[in-house]
Amino acid sequence: MAKVCLLLLLLAGLSMPGYTQNNDKVIAVLGSSTAAGFGLPTSYGTMQNTWDYQNDDDPPNSWANRLRTYYQNLHILDALHNYAVGGKAVNVAMPDGDQALNITVAMFANPDVVIVNFPSNGYDTMSVASAMYYFRTIYATATANGTTTCYICTTQPRTSDHWSDDPAQNEGQDWLANRLRLKTIKDSIIAEFPNNYIDFYTPALDAAAPSGSSNYLGIKAEYAQVEDNGDGTTSLSGTHLNEDGHLLLFNQVLAKNILPIGSLPLKVGSLHVKRIDDTHITVTFTILDGNTEKEFFIWVKDKAGNTKSVRVVIPDKTKTSQTVTETIQIY
User: Do the beta carbons of residue 149 and residue 114 sit within 8 Å?
Assistant: yes
User: What values do phi and psi take at 51, rounded to 5?
Assistant: -75, -35
How does pLDDT run across 188-215, given as a tens digit for each residue? 999 999 999 999 999 999 999 999 899 9
Where is 73: in which H helix or E strand?
A: helix 63-73
For the chain, the domains span 1-19+263-331, 22-254
Who contacts 137 (Cβ-Cβ below 8 Å, separation ≥6)?
94, 95
Which position has the higher pLDDT, 91 or 326?
Answer: 91
| Higher per-residue pLDDT: 27 or 10 | 27
CB 238 within 8 A of CB 224: yes
Beta bridge partners of 153: 198
Strands 197-198 and 280-287: unpaired
Contact 120, 155 (CB under 8 A): yes
What lies within 8 Å, CB to CB, of 197 at 6+ separation is 151, 152, 153, 154, 189, 190
Mean pLDDT across the stretch 67-90? 91
- CA triplet 57, 108, 30: central angle to 5 degrees? 50
Find residue 275's DSSP bridge partners. 281
> In this model, does residue 153 exceed pLDDT 90?
yes
Does the pLDDT of residue 42 top 60, yes or no?
Answer: yes
Which one is predicted more confidently, 46 or 214?
A: 214
Report the C-alpha gap between 287 and 255 in whole angstroms.
28
How many CA atoms lie within 13 Å of 200's alpha carbon, on the beta-carbon side?
31
| Measured CA distances, 194 to 62, 153, 199, 329 (Å) | 25, 12, 11, 39
Looking at domain 22-254, its CATH superfamily turns out to be SGNH hydrolase (3.40.50.1110)
57 pLDDT band (50/70/90 cuts)?
Answer: low
How would DSSP label each residue in 185-223?
A: HHHHHHHH-TTSEE--STTTB-TTSPTTSTTTT-B-GGG
Digit-coded pLDDT (tens) for 228-283: 888 889 999 999 999 999 999 998 998 898 998 754 445 555 566 777 776 777 77
pLDDT (average), residues 58-79: 88
pLDDT at 89: 98
Q: Are 89 and 118 in contact (CB under 8 A)?
A: yes
Which pLDDT score is estimated for 188?
98
Q: In which band, very low, low, confident or very high, does the pLDDT at 2 lie, cut at 50, 70 and 90?
A: very low
Going by the DSSP 8-state scheme, the letter that residue 16 receives in this structure is -
- In this predicted structure, the answer to whether residue 4 has a pLDDT above a threshold of 60 is no
So what's the pLDDT on residue 13?
A: 34
**What is the model's pLDDT at position 270?**
59
- Is the pLDDT reported for residue 100 higher than 90? no
| pLDDT 10s digits, 108-145 | 999 999 999 999 999 999 999 999 999 999 999 999 99
Report how far residue 190's alpha carbon sits from residue 196's, in angstroms, rounded to the nearest whole number: 8
pLDDT of residue 20: 42
- Ramachandran angles phi, psi of 142, nearest 5°: -65, -35
Indicate the length of the chain as a whole number: 331
Q: Return the ∠ at Cα 116 (arms to 110 and 119), rounded to 5°.
A: 160
Comparing C-alpha atoms, which of 284, 288, 295 is closest to residue 268? 288
What pLDDT is recorded for position 72?
A: 87
Query: Is pLDDT of 329 > 60?
Result: yes
Residue 190: CB partners within 8 Å, gap ≥ 6?
154, 197, 199
Q: How high is the pLDDT of residue 289?
A: 59
Digit-coded pLDDT (tens) for 280-327: 777 776 666 555 556 666 666 655 555 556 666 666 656 656 677 777
- pLDDT value for 295: 63
Q: What are phi and psi of 136, to 5 degrees?
A: -65, -40
- Nearest-angstrom CA–CA distance, 329 and 51: 36
C-alpha 101 chain-centroid distance: 19
pLDDT at 105: 95
Q: How many CB atoms lie within 10 A of CB 12?
A: 21
Cβ atoms 281, 291 nearer than 8 A: no
